[in-house]
């Protein structure tokens, strides 16, 4: 290996190392977290997935619930081709703990211009936290393909 | 920069070479099926680009049924059929050439046959069996059985080539018990071994979970498991698209510009790195529930690791190009760039493809960054990224390869060279405009895989400009393909007879060492074991905690 080659390989290694450190920093210090394994929908023998979802709290009552001072829980059930609930009002500067699942297919739950961009997968419970610091109207978009009316699966969040 | 030329005594590639007539026809068949599928695939791509601009053209093509049927076909043709066929043909040739031995013609025939059957069945499944499941399958959305059988045949066509390579390598080793494996064959064979291992995930999913389910033999499906199995294959498939192009960049391109290949050790380590680092698929599931953080972070680290061999490749390829430019009389730091044979459409296409790979690789690293993915996941940023990688680095390079490969295989001179030399430029600027449209839209929340022309709400701010750029870029890409296909058809039909002596293969500057630690590179089974160990470490815990499959999802047909 000659000198030029060695220098190049070192630059490449250090560069990738710096990138990796930046991601670790953003996770540990800036607390930017991704979804992980936070519970499943248990389907009993003889039941369908749809029945089980509606018998598993909190998905028996989708909606927005106050859980403390400036703290809310948003329970979302996605199905072809709608979110339940689809239009949500959230007070400004509140932290929202989203709990979501899907009744039938894979769906996406993406609130445009926020990092809330999570997957709803049948049988799995997605948990994600976000604080809404800007007032305004946000569009919810299903961004994971879910059939012929996928593009019509949408909703709104109003923060005020 | 001074380059030391070492006199090397080992013959790198067999000198007297003639491709056998039957092999020539079979390989040509694969290449034609590949580019034929691409022709239909890019037409569908044009319709999709217009969809992003809010213009729905699907009503004019009632056979297509919907945007999503078109998208499924686009993915299957351009993501499976075209790269599989091109790799099968090109890497068969390089293996035969590298080892100087024929591959079993029966296996080549089996490969071509499976390719045609697979293409036909999946085409039927999508358009007549109503299987708009996209190329990522999207369980519990269910396709017609013919779709799953078609996909299986497409994979079998690649396995047949791999088997043929291994049989031939075994024969070669018997004849040369103490020699290093010729580098060209080494790279070609490792590409297929990497793919054999990485295709296991989707193959298991397709044959044991989806096909029986589509025949009503299973009560339901398991969304998380099938997703994980698919992405086990669905990321390394990217390297299966890319590595044949690397073979061309390492071996053919330097020869075409009158240069040499830098080092044997470098090429072997690059291909071994791609083989070991197969299990990176979890990085497609950063936003998924049901997958623990261990898998996601491990995949992130491995994905950064796999950027490394590509950086090494960039070094080696640019080094060769510089040498070529200097040997043609280039002066100064950048003077060599001008001296490269830009008028040769094959060289021009591959260099521009390499340039497009630069932003492609950078955006790939952005996607691999675990939590940054939350901003980009499933937005149109992603198609922006992979049209620079597979859509430019791979597709445009394969087009470049075709400019010498089709004349080589047909014995006809390339028709319309003066027209063809502009084609790579049109494509290059087209794909840059296309991708900047897709990426800027993605940052503004524009979703991918969505019939944007039909959305029931006002497009968000900036989407219209991004969509328009997408359509302009897509039209340029399509136009350049029209030129390419016209040149190819004219070459095949009316090209002047001209036997090309040999394919372009570069000589090495630093050859292989015949003793010492480097010999371990040729012990391919060690690297395969290492790869399986890494897979066990990453996918083992997931499978142990997840299995048996939870077949709770009812089949769903969204139409």
**Gap between the Cα atoms of B535 and A51, Å rounded:** 36
State how beta strands A136-141 and A107-111 pair.
antiparallel
- Please determine, for residue B244, whether its predicted confidence score (pLDDT) is greater than 50: yes
Helix (H) or strand (E) holding A107: strand A107-111
Q: Read off the CATH number of the domain in which B361 is found.
A: 1.20.210.10
Name every chain B residue with its beta carbon within 8 A of the beta carbon of A18: none
- Please determine, for residue B14, whether its predicted confidence score (pLDDT) is greater than 70: no
ipTM at complex level: 0.94
Q: Is residue B189 part of a domain?
A: yes
Contact B196, B110 (CB under 8 A): no
Q: How confident is the model at residue B15 (pLDDT cuts 50, 70, 90)?
A: low
pLDDT (average), residues B394-411: 96
Tokens of B510: 């630093």
pLDDT (average), residues A69-90: 95
Is B132 within 8 Å of A124 when comparing Cβ atoms? Answer: no
In degrees, to the nearest 5, what angle opens at C-alpha B222 toward C-alphas B217 and B228? 125
**Gap between the Cα atoms of B68 and B44, Å rounded:** 11
What tens digit of pLDDT does each residue of B291-348 get?
999 999 999 999 999 999 999 999 999 999 999 999 888 888 889 999 999 999 999 9
- Minimal CA–CA distance to B279: which of B335, B209, B330, B232? B232
What tens digit of pLDDT does each residue of B445-487 get?
999 999 999 999 999 999 999 999 999 999 999 999 999 999 9
Per cent of chain B over pLDDT 70 is 97
Neighbour-count burial for B272-290, b at 16+ CB within 10 Å, e otherwise: bbbbbbbbbbbbbbbbbbb
Q: Is residue B6 part of a domain?
A: no
Q: Is residue B111 part of a domain?
A: yes
Burial of B71 (C-beta count, 10 Å sphere; 0-12/13-18/19+): buried
Residue B496: other Cβ atoms inside 10 A:
11
**What is each CA distance from A132 to A119, A121, A159, B82, B377, in whole angstroms?**
20, 24, 7, 46, 20
B448 is catalytic: yes
**Gap between the Cα atoms of B160 and B156, Å rounded:** 6
Q: According to the model, what pLDDT value does residue B532 have?
A: 97
- Please determine, for residue B558, whether its predicted confidence score (pLDDT) is greater than 70: no
**Gap between the Cα atoms of B236 and B82, Å rounded:** 16
Q: Is residue B521 part of a domain?
A: no
Tokens of B475: 């039209």
Q: How confident is the model at residue A128 (pLDDT cuts 50, 70, 90)?
A: very high
**Gap between the Cα atoms of B489 and B447, Å rounded:** 37
pLDDT (average), residues A34-57: 92
Tokens of A14: 């250090």
- Please determine, for residue B1, whether its predicted confidence score (pLDDT) is greater than 90: no
Q: Crossing angle of helices B236-247/B223-234, nearest 10°?
A: 10
**Gap between the Cα atoms of A131 and A114, Å rounded:** 10
Q: Is residue B8 part of a domain?
A: no
Average pLDDT of chain B is: 93
Torsion, CA B296, CA A42, CA B134, CA B378, rounded to 10: -40
| Chain A CB within 8 Å of residue B307 CB | yes
- Which of the residues A14, A40, A119, A140 would you substitute to probe the B interface, choosing the one with the greatest number of B C-beta atoms within 10 Å? A119
Domain containing B99 equals 21-282+293-330+341-511+527-553
Residue B422: other Cβ atoms inside 10 A:
13
Q: Is residue B155 part of a domain?
A: yes
Q: Is residue B247 part of a domain?
A: yes
- Please determine, for residue B10, whether its predicted confidence score (pLDDT) is greater than 80: no
3-state secondary structure string, B112-150?
HHHHHHHHHHHHHHHHCCCCCCCCCCCCCECCCHHHHHH
Torsion, CA B359, CA B364, CA B365, CA B366, rounded to 10: 90
- Please determine, for residue B11, whether its predicted confidence score (pLDDT) is greater than 80: no
pLDDT (average), residues A85-113: 95
Name residue, tokens 């870029």: B473
What tens digit of pLDDT does each residue of B145-178 get?
999 999 999 999 999 999 999 999 999 999 998 8
Handedness of CA B441, B445, B448, B453 (dihedral sign): negative
| Chain A CB within 8 Å of residue B3 CB | no
Tokens of A53: 């979802």
What tens digit of pLDDT does each residue of A148-160 get?
999 999 999 999 9
Residue B511: other Cβ atoms inside 10 A:
19
**Gap between the Cα atoms of B309 and A88, Å rounded:** 47
Residues 31 to 60 of B: which have CB under 8 A from any A CB?
A: none
**Gap between the Cα atoms of A154 and B510, Å rounded:** 59
Q: Is residue B251 part of a domain?
A: yes
For A56-60, B379-383, B456-460, B554-558, which range has the lowest pLDDT when averaged over its residues?
A: B554-558
CA distance B547 to chain A (A): 14
Catalytic residue (choose from B386, B403, B434, B539): B386
Name every chain A residue with its beta carbon within 8 A of the beta carbon of B370: 23, 27, 34
The number of domains in chain B is: 1
Catalytic residue (choose from B24, B102, B417, B449): B449
What are the two backbone dihedrals, phi and then psi, of residue B311, each rounded to the nearest 5 degrees? -65, -40
Nearest to B450 among A8, A32, A150 (CB): A150
- Which of the residues B68, B75, B374 would you substitute to probe the A interface, choosing the one with the greatest number of A C-beta atoms within 10 Å? B374
Strand partners, A155: A140
Residue B451's Cα: distance from chain center in Å?
Answer: 26
B546 is catalytic: no
- Please determine, for residue B7, whether its predicted confidence score (pLDDT) is greater than 60: no
Cβ contacts of residue B504 below 8 Å, gap of 6+? B251, B252, B253, B255, B256, B404
Q: According to the model, what pLDDT value does residue B309 have?
A: 92
Q: How confident is the model at residue A51 (pLDDT cuts 50, 70, 90)?
A: very high
B235 is catalytic: yes
Burial of B523 (C-beta count, 10 Å sphere; 0-12/13-18/19+): exposed
Contact B388, B356 (CB under 8 A): yes
What tens digit of pLDDT does each residue of B50-69 get?
999 999 999 899 889 899 99
pLDDT (average), residues B203-224: 94
């Amino acid at each position: 290996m000659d000198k030029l080659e060695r220098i190049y390989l070192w630059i490449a290694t250090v560069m990738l190392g710096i990138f990796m450190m930046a991601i670790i920093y953003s996770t540990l210090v800036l607390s930017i977290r991704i979804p992980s394994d936070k519970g499943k929908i248990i389907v009993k023998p003889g039941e369908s997935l749809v029945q089980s979802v509606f018998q598993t709290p909190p998905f028996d009552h989708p909606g927005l619930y106050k859980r403390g001072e400036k703290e809310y829980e948003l329970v979302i059930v996605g199905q072809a081709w709608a979110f339940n609930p689809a239009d949500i009002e959230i007070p400004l500067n509140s932290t929202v703990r989203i709990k979501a699942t899907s009744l039938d297919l894979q769906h996406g739950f993406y609130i445009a211009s926020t990092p809330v961009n999570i997957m709803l997968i049948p049988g799995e419970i997605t948990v994600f936290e976000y604080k809404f610091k800007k007032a305004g109207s946000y569009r919810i978009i299903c961004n994971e393909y879910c059939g012929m009316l996928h593009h019509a699966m949408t909703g709104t969040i109003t923060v005020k | 920069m001074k380059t030391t030329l070492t006199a090397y005594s080992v013959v790198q590639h067999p000198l007297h070479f003639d491709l056998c007539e039957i092999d020539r026809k079979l390989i040509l068949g694969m290449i034609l099926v590949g580019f034929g599928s691409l022709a239909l695939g890019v037409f569908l791509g044009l319709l999709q680009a217009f969809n992003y601009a809010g213009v729905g053209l699907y009503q004019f093509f009632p056979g297509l049924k919907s945007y999503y049927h078109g998208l499924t076909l686009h993915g299957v043709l351009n993501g499976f059929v075209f790269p599989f066929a091109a790799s099968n043909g090109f890497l068969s040739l390089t293996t035969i050439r590298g080892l100087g031995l024929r591959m079993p013609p029966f296996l080549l025939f089996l490969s071509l046959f499976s390719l045609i059957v697979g293409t036909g069945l999946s085409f039927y499944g999508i358009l007549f069996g109503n299987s708009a499941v996209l190329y990522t399958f999207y369980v519990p959305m269910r396709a017609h059985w013919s779709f799953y059988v078609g996909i299986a045949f497409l994979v079998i066509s690649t396995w047949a080539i791999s088997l043929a390579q291994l049989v031939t390598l075994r024969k070669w080793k018997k004849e040369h018990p103490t020699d290093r494996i010729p580098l060209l064959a080494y790279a070609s064979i490792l590409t297929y071994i990497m793919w054999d291992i990485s295709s296991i995930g989707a193959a298991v999913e397709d044959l044991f979970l989806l096909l029986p389910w589509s025949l009503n033999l299973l009560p339901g499906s398991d969304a998380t498991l099938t997703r994980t199995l698919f992405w086990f294959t669905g990321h390394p498939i990217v390297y299966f698209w890319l590595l044949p192009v690397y073979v061309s960049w390492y071996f053919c391109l330097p020869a075409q510009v009158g240069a040499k290949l830098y080092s044997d050790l470098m090429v072997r380590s690059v291909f071994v790195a791609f083989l070991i680092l197969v299990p990176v698929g979890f990085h497609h599931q950063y936003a998924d529930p049901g997958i623990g953080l261990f898998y996601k972070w491990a995949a992130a680290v491995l994905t950064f690791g796999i950027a490394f061999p590509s950086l090494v490749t960039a070094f080696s390829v640019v080094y060769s190009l510089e040498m070529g430019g200097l040997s043609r009389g280039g002066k100064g730091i950048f003077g060599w760039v001008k001296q490269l044979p830009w008028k040769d459409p094959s060289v021009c296409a591959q260099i521009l493809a390499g340039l497009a790979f630069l932003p492609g690789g950078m955006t790939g690293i952005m996607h691999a960054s675990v939590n940054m993915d939350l901003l980009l996941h499933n937005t149109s940023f992603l198609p922006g990224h992979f049209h620079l990688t597979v859509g430019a680095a791979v597709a445009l390079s394969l087009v470049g390869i075709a400019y010498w490969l089709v004349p080589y295989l047909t014995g006809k001179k390339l028709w319309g060279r003066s027209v063809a030399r502009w084609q790579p430029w049109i494509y290059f600027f087209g794909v840059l405009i296309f991708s900047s449209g897709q990426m800027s839209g993605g940052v503004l929340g524009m979703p991918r895989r969505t019939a944007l022309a039909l959305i029931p709400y006002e497009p968000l701010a900036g989407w219209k400009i991004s969509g328009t750029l997408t359509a302009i870029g897509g039209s340029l890409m399509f136009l350049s393909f029209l030129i390419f296909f016209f040149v190819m058809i004219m070459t095949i039909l009316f090209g002047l007879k001209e036997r090309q002596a040999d394919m372009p293969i570069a000589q090495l500057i630093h050859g292989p060492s015949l003793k010492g630690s480097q010999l371990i590179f040729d012990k391919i089974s060690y690297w395969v074991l290492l790869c399986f160990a890494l897979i066990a470490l990453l996918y083992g815990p997931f499978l142990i905690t997840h299995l048996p499959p939870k077949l709770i999802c009812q089949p769903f047909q969204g139409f």
